[in-house]
Amino acid sequence: MADHYETLGVSKDASAAEIKSSYRKLARKYHPDVNPGHEDEFKAISLAYDVLSDSEKRRNYDMGGGENGQSGFPAGGGFGGFGDIFETFFGGGGGSAGGPMPRTQRGKDALVGVNIDLETAAFGGNIDLDVATAVVCDTCSGAGTQQGTSVETCTLCHGAGSVQRMTRTLLGQMVTNQTCNSCHGFGTVIPNPCLNCQGDGRVRKQRTMKIRIPAGVSDGTRIQLSSQGEVGPGGGPAGDLFVEVMVARHEVFQRDGDNLRASVSVPMTAAALGASIPFDTFDGSQELSIEPGIQSGTVVKLPGLGATRLRSETRGDLLITVDVVTPDKLDDAQKDLLSQLAKLREEETPRAQITTQNRGMFSRMREKFAGR
């Protein structure tokens, strides 16, 4: 069993953030849509993240649980190999006294990543998703046999899926049940397997799906699509498909929960005199009101123009930070005008005003009694 920590390239005391960061980097590298031929690596990375990102599963895994992070003793043996003893005496896996395994089984769940832009994440939308997965073989319709043939009862186990073996032990002769080597526990064999799927009843195929991204998703959100995963052996029912959303950076807006943030630069004159500036948003052009005397760093709020809240129709706000730009290249006429302004405002020789952020109670009392 592969070590999940080694798979993700993190230490055993790695934080949740480190695990998530490493997973995303590896998932982008080995995603089948980006780097075909690395499906096994992608599955191993996804399994490792599924276990280590869940605190309960990670705890069980660190205590010796199975690779899926299930609770219990280590696979194949707590208490000095109890699992091995049980398998030896009563048969392990495949057919047993309970009967043969069915050839038709449910498919595995699948996890894929999808990159979307900020606008789709904030407001939702339909996207096309290319998925390489197992589908029912269209040659045999999932039966696994060539046309005109069928499965046959195993002649070794006579359909039981298991055979009895006589073994000598310190306690004497013991009769054990073991999975039939001829039919591998199914109780039946396929003498003439389908040439397209080699008897599995399914084949791997690239398919394009149109999926709906709900409004308000964020980076790391997983969307579950029931019965859209891998078709099971023997043409069995499909598992579920989980789509993990990865939101690309936007050149103007940043996500802050349900709010969107942006910055705008305004000239010093507009900041002093006030202005109305057109600002392009996801809802079209809006008038941004710059109040006279606005200071650099002031946040102007445009209510209701933020991201949609997940599973809701309400929206956050658009928060725009104002950056006042001081001119650094002035001609003589401009310098003269600014000098006149400084003279009118008696600011020809400005004095620094120190603002105390945290004044103690006794300092405030002194200022009060001093008449300041």
User: What are the tokens at 213?
Assistant: 């991204």
The answer to whether 90 and 176 have CB atoms below 8 angstroms apart is yes
Does the annotation flag 154 for ligand binding? Answer: yes
Please state, in angstroms and rounded to a whole number, the distance separating the CA atoms of residues 148 and 153: 17
User: What are the tokens at 56?
Assistant: 């309960």
Does the annotation flag 183 for ligand binding? Answer: yes
Residues 6 or more apart whose Cβ sits within 8 Å of residue 119: 125, 250, 282
Q: Residue ranges of the alpha helices (H) in the chain? A: 4-8, 16-30, 39-52, 55-62, 82-90, 118-123, 268-273, 332-344, 361-369
DSSP for 231-280, please give it.
PBGGGBPP--EEEEEEEPP-SS-EEETTEEEEEEEEEHHHHHH-EEEEEE
Does the annotation flag 157 for ligand binding? Answer: yes
Q: Tell how far CA 269 is from the center of its chain.
A: 47
The answer to whether 300 and 287 have CB atoms below 8 angstroms apart is no
Buried b (16+ CB within 10 A) or exposed e, 285-316: eeebebeeebeeeeebebeebbbbeeeeeebb
Does the annotation flag 137 for ligand binding? Answer: yes
Does the annotation flag 180 for ligand binding? Answer: yes
Does the annotation flag 122 for ligand binding? Answer: no
* Residue set of the binding site: 137, 140, 154, 157, 180, 183, 194, 197
Residues comprising the binding site for Zn(2+)? Answer: 137, 140, 154, 157, 180, 183, 194, 197
